[in-house]
């Protein structure tokens, strides 16, 4: 499903030579360097987050400092004025991003520790009388300044953030609530990384402990956004993070807020959790997160930022396979869940399929109302937000054996849908029995045969077999099968061990209502190994096959560190009478959609791949973005035209091809 906020048109004769990127400010090609990548991220954020027009910005602007020519990386001028020193009121100095150490954290510096980095920036701000604000960044550290000129000297005071557009920093409300903004996706990921780095690198906490402290504060932020403006307490004044007194004031606001969060969600919190961060770290994170309006930020942007932090903390320690976001998106687009349908992921991990469902439906809701993401008025925003929250609260289900992942998934769903889904800590293969706490509530809300849509990536591999007989005896596919004619016959002999993905196939089919559909990630062997033919026989007896998509090894090797070929299998559960008719030989042929993805947008090392012309040059597309710019207190909408590269990814094309296939061929059973 395309985003209506972005108009795209490919220009075939447009190309970008090797080693070049497009400058987001001017649209001209520039040399691709580590520093340039940081500058481009910052330029995009200044335009899309702060509402500053591209035509009021200039890269590499020349300034005379003490009689010598210097260049500032990004100069920002008063709206609509000539690019001259007397109109230069903000300056940005950029450096390349630092390398993160082997422990996965970078120690964040305070302004005093990084003082030597600001020499050029401060010299320019001192020389140019009109320049009031400065920013120095290496892509991970951000130091904002405001110049204060007295009779005796010029000082550069650290501030938590810049004002929006041409606004000034004023009262508490003006410095926090009024400045909340929709986050640029790249900058939100950067903000999350900065917060986690600060806790892990500066507080000396183990990364798991740092991770949970960070999530507590995200939950506080989401909870606080539900309050009316004057009641909100998750904010930081412009100077509070830089003084012990201000840091203590922030703590006095946040600790009671966290207590209210724990009371509001007793199923998620035990009640003994505490915010153990230092005043300084707490102030840093509150300042970092409070600038963003999470409710109005794109669901996909929040999910990507969250998943990046979750993946670095939970994936390696416990060995789970995390599903690549491209595969998740393809599964949900092909399943096309409806608002009225109940969706389940019985091996939900951190909630990737659940959040992508919310993202998908959020776009559907906006298209139905003919409202573009980010352009909603207050009434439309509340209506669409509540509609998505209602789906999350009543139609979204998940379960996992790992309690840490269930909790992380709950927070992910909450951040995406503004409501908790039904997520259960239980063993889905043992259900409807078991000793884990999620079993009892799941029996009340998630009975077998009650689900409309399943999207899942179960754990798979012969190295983690299921051996408990009490579980195996629930499954036909746990028994030995013998060939008989063109088919197979099940015996009563139970195998001593079965790979979990085999049992998950059957459990998912059991959970579906007749006519329900599912998308599941499976190792290729199940679909091709001769020894697994009885599994394919069982699938074809109980289900119609809607589609099969082969994924390249790159899909999982980068994001999940799994070197295995996988496929996406889409099934629709047959009603009992259809199974019986098939047993009597009354089978009807039907078309099956099949595709092979060769490219997924990155290579085995994680390097991003873009589409190229036969001569090797990268192909470009013209894209237009609507930017909201504040001019004299008024909000104006302007169109920004930029050329961009095309990700070399087959998955969106496969989703579109499947939609066309279904337009020509109705699903079997309809």
CA angle 227, 229, 235 (to 5 degrees): 90
Overall domain count for the chain: 3
Q: Could you tell me if 345 and 353 are in contact, meaning their C-beta atoms sit under 8 angstroms apart?
A: yes
Residue 46 sits in the same domain as residue 148: yes
Question: Does residue 655 fall inside a structural domain?
Answer: no
Residue 396 sits in a domain of what CATH number? 3.40.50.150
Regarding whether 69 and 184 lie in a shared domain, the answer is no
Last residue of a domain, one of 140, 169, 198: 169
Which residue stretches of the chain have pLDDT < 50? Answer: 1-13, 102, 168-178, 316-319
pTM: 0.85
Claim to verify: residue 581 and residue 462 sit in the same structural domain: yes
pLDDT of amino acid 507: 98
Domain presence at residue 621: no
Q: What range defines the domain where residue 265 resides?
A: 179-297
> Do 494 and 403 reside in the same domain of the chain?
yes
Residue 632 located in a structural domain: no
**212 and 260 belong to one structural domain:** yes
Pick from 595, 625, 648: which residue ends a domain?
A: 595
Q: Is residue 306, in this structure, part of any structural domain at all?
A: no
Long-range CB contacts (within 8 A, 24+) of 590-593: 590/544, 590/665, 590/668, 591/661, 591/665, 592/545, 592/546, 592/547, 592/548, 593/546, 593/547, 593/548, 593/657, 593/658, 593/661, 593/662
What integer pLDDT is reported at residue 561 of this predicted model? 65
Q: How many CA atoms lie within 13 A of 149 on its CB side?
A: 10
Domain annotation covers residue 331: yes
Same domain, 224 and 164: no
pLDDT for position 169: 45
- Which pLDDT belongs to residue 643? 75
The 10s digit of each residue's pLDDT in 137-187 is 999 899 999 999 887 888 899 998 888 875 644 434 433 444 577 888 888
417 SS3 class: helix
Which CATH number goes with the domain that contains 135? 3.90.1570
**DSSP letter for each residue of 439-462:** HHHHHHH--TT-EEEEEE-----T
Q: Are residues 480 and 405 in the same domain?
A: yes
At 14 the pLDDT is 64
Q: Are residues 236 and 336 in the same domain?
A: no
Backbone angles phi, psi at 473, to 5 degrees: -70, -10
124 & 228 share domain: no
652 lies in some domain: no
Same domain, 291 and 335: no
Residue 645 lies in a domain: no
Is residue 503 domain-shared with residue 408, that is, in the same domain? Answer: yes
Give the residue from 577, 595, 613 where a domain finishes: 595
Locus of tokens 């699903």? 667
Looking at the structure, do residues 580 and 476 belong to the same domain, yes or no? yes
Distance CA 167, CA 175 (A): 10
Domain assignment of residue 533, yes or no: yes
632 CB neighbour count, 10 Å cutoff? 9
- Show Cβ contacts of residue 163 under 8 Å, excluding neighbours closer than 6 positions: 133, 169, 179
């Amino acid at each position: 499903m395309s985003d209506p906020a972005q108009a795209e048109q490919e220009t075939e004769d447009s190309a970008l030579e090797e080693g070049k990127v497009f400058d987001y400010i001017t649209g001209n090609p520039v040399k691709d360097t580590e520093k340039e990548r940081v500058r481009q991220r910052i330029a995009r954020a200044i335009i899309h987050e702060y509402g500053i027009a591209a035509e009021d910005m200039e890269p590499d602007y020349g300034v005379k400092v003490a009689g010598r020519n210097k260049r500032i990386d990004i100069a920002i001028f008063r709206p609509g004025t000539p690019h001259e020193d007397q109109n230069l009121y903000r300056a940005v100095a950029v450096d390349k991003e630092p390398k993160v150490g082997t422990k996965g954290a970078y120690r964040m510096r305070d302004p005093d520790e990084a003082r030597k980095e600001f020499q050029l920036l401060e010299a320019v701000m001192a020389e140019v009388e009109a320049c009031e604000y400065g920013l120095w960044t290496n892509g991970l550290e951000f130091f904002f300044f405001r110049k204060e000129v007295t009779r005796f000297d010029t000082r550069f005071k650290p501030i938590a953030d810049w004002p929006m557009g041409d606004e000034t920093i004023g009262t508490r409300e003006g410095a926090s609530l009024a400045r909340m903004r929709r986050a640029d996706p790249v900058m939100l990921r950067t903000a999350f990384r900065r917060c986690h780095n600060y806790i892990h690198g500066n507080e000396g906490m183990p990364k798991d402990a740092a991770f949970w402290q960070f999530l507590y504060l995200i939950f506080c932020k989401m909870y606080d956004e539900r309050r009316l403006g004057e009641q909100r307490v998750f904010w930081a004044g412009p100077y509070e993070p830089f003084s012990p007194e201000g840091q203590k004031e922030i703590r006095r606001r946040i600790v009671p807020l966290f207590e209210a969060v724990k009371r509001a969600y007793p199923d998620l919190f035990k009640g003994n959790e505490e915010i153990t961060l230092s005043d300084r770290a707490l102030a840093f994170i509150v300042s970092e997160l409070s600038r963003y309006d999470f409710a109005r930020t794109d669901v996909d942007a929040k999910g990507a930022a969250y998943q990046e932090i979750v993946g670095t903390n939970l994936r390696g320690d416990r060995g789970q396979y995390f599903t690549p976001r491209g595969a998740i998106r393809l599964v949900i687009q092909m399943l096309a869940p409806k608002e009225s349908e109940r969706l389940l992921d019985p091996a939900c991990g951190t909630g990737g399929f659940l959040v992508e469902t919310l993202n998908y439906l959020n776009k559907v809701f906006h298209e139905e109302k003919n409202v573009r993401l980010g352009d909603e008025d207050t009434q439309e925003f509340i209506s669409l937000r509540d509609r998505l929250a209602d789906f999350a609260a009543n139609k979204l289900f998940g379960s996992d054996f790992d309690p840490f992942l269930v909790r992380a998934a709950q927070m992910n769903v909450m951040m995406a849908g503004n409501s908790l889904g039904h997520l259960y800590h239980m063993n889905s293969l043992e259900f409807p029995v078991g000793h884990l706490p999620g079993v009892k509530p799941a029996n009340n809300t998630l009975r077998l045969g009650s689900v409309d849509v399943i999207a899942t990536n179960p754990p798979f591999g012969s190295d983690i077999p299921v051996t408990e007989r009490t579980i195996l005896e629930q499954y036909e596919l746990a028994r030995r099968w013998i060939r008989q004619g063109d088919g197979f016959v099940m015996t009563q002999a139970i195998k001593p061990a079965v790979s979990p993905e085999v049992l998950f196939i059957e459990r998912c089919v059991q959970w579906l209502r007749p006519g329900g559909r599912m998308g599941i990630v499976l190792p290729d062997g199940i679909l091709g190994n001769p020894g697994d033919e009885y599994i394919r026989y069982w699938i074809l007896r109980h289900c119609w096959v809607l589609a099969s998509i082969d994924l390249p090894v790159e899909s999982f090797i980068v994001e999940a560190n799994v070197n295995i070929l996988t496929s996406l299998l889409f099934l629709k559960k047959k009603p009992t009478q259809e199974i019986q008719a098939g047993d009597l030989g009354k089978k009807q042929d039907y078309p099956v959609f099949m595709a092979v993805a060769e490219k997924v947008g990155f290579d085995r090392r994680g390097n991003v791949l873009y589409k190229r012309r036969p001569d090797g040059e990268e192909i470009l597309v013209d894209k237009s973005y609507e930017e909201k710019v504040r001019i004299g207190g008024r909000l104006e909408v302007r169109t920004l035209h930029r050329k961009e590269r095309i990700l070399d990814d087959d998955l969106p094309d496969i989703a579109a091809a499947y939609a066309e296939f279904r337009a020509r061929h109705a699903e079997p059973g309809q």
